[in-house]
Structure formats: structure tokens, C-alpha cells
Amino acid sequence: MNRILPKSLLICIALFIPFSVGCAKRAIPDTIAAVEQAFFAFEQRDITYDELKEKIAGYYVDFDHTVGDKFLFYPPAGGDGVLYKDLEGLTWDEFFVDQNGADENWREQWEQEGPTIESSQVSVSTSVDAVLDQQMAFAWREDVVSGFEKGESCQIISNRYFLKKVDGDWKINQVDPRWGAYFMSDDQEEKDRARNVLAMHPYQDEAEYVRTITLK
């Protein structure tokens, strides 16, 4: 005997499906914010690659491919580069000191001799429909960097995220980065070029940013 569902229950089911989809999409900015925060900590050598992977691998369709197989340090002419996954199982001391011959006080040297990020903020957008049934969202990060003869600079890291639905959750399938930088003393034309030409992805100027996080 076939049972007929009550009309009220059918209405509830019909309402629940788009509600669930909407909730999943609304979680995308939180996903991207967590990823951006973790990568900043990794870039500052505050966490290892293993810790980075533990924190955010679950947000990716395939973390080992999307992150692990990418260059962390690009190869010099005639040399080998370093992939993210090459740091698996290593502390930063083991990588810099044991494998690459750096001094044990490499952190102090790095902070004193290299450019320093004085402050950093990242803004994350809502998602929009994209090709192949994906969602697309953006992260726009600005770092104030000191340590240059010409004075402080603004470094922009702009990431375009494509997310694919896997078992009901939107997971990161692809990340396209763009960069721009200018000195605070540059004229407005140079600043506009860095922001609107070098760092800006197509359609990013239409993005609706819903979260801004102070990273440093």
C-alpha cells in the first residue's frame, strides 16, 4: 500500500531544500576566512605545514593537489624549487637549519633584515554562481610592509576561490592568486594600477564583501 505524504509535510520538505542550500552557501565566507587566517599564520612561520593541513584540509576537494603540489619557493635559475608538500613532517627549524644550512637564529635575522609586515587585513566576499555548477568568491588582503629604502609599501594579495559541492558542503576546488604592490609615496596613478589592474580579478569589483579580519 502506497502512503501519501501529507500536504503540510511536502511543503516543509520543499522549503527545507532551498533553505539548506542557502545555509551552505552562507558558510562559504567563513570557510575562506579560516583558510586566509591559516595561510597568514603559515607565511609568518607561526605554524608548520602539517598544522596548516590539519586546520584547513577539510575545506578542500583535494588539498594535496590544490596546495601540496604548488610551489612555496619558486626555483632559482638552474635550481630546484620547494613545494608545499616538501615541508611535510618538518618543523621550520628542521627545514631552514638542518636542510638548508641557516643559522639557528634565522627567525631573528629574518625579522631584522627582511621586509616586515606591520599590519594586515583581509576582506572576504559572498559567493556567486560560476561555471560548472561552482561558486566563486574573493578574498582581498592588504599588508602594510616596512623595511624598504623608499619607505612603507602596501602589498595586495587577491585570491579568487572556486568551490564545488561535495556531499552537501561547498569545498575549495581551485584558487587563483593575483598580486599588486605600491609604495605609500607613489602617485595615485601607480596606486590605482596596482589595485585595479595588477591585483583585481575579473568581476571582483562587483563583489560584496561581508567580513573583514585583522590578521596582524
- pLDDT, one tens digit per residue, over 108-142 is 888 888 899 999 999 999 999 999 999 999 999 99
List the alpha helices (DSSP H) in 44-151.
49-56, 63, 92-93, 106-113
* Residue 76 burial (CB count, 10 A): 8
167 vs 72: CA distance, rounded Å: 30
- Does residue 14 form part of some domain? no
- Answer whether 214's CB lies under 8 Å from 121's CB: yes
Q: Which amino acid is at 136?
A: M
Kindly report the average pLDDT of the chain as a whole number.
90
Query: Containing domain of residue 62, as a range?
Result: 27-214
- Does residue 11 form part of some domain? no
Could you give the C-alpha distances from 164 to 24, 62, 167, 174, 204, in angstroms and in order? 11, 11, 10, 9, 19
Taking alpha carbons only, the member of 14, 6, 61, 15 closest to residue 35 is: 61
pLDDT category at 26 given cuts 50, 70, 90 is confident
Residue 171 pLDDT more than 50?
yes
- Does residue 55 form part of some domain? yes
**Amino acid 177: pLDDT:** 97
**Amino acid 21: pLDDT:** 47
Q: Is 52 helix (H, G, I), strand (E, B) or coil?
A: helix
- Answer whether 162's CB lies under 8 Å from 138's CB: no
Task: Tell me how many domains the chain contains.
Answer: 1
- Does residue 6 form part of some domain? no
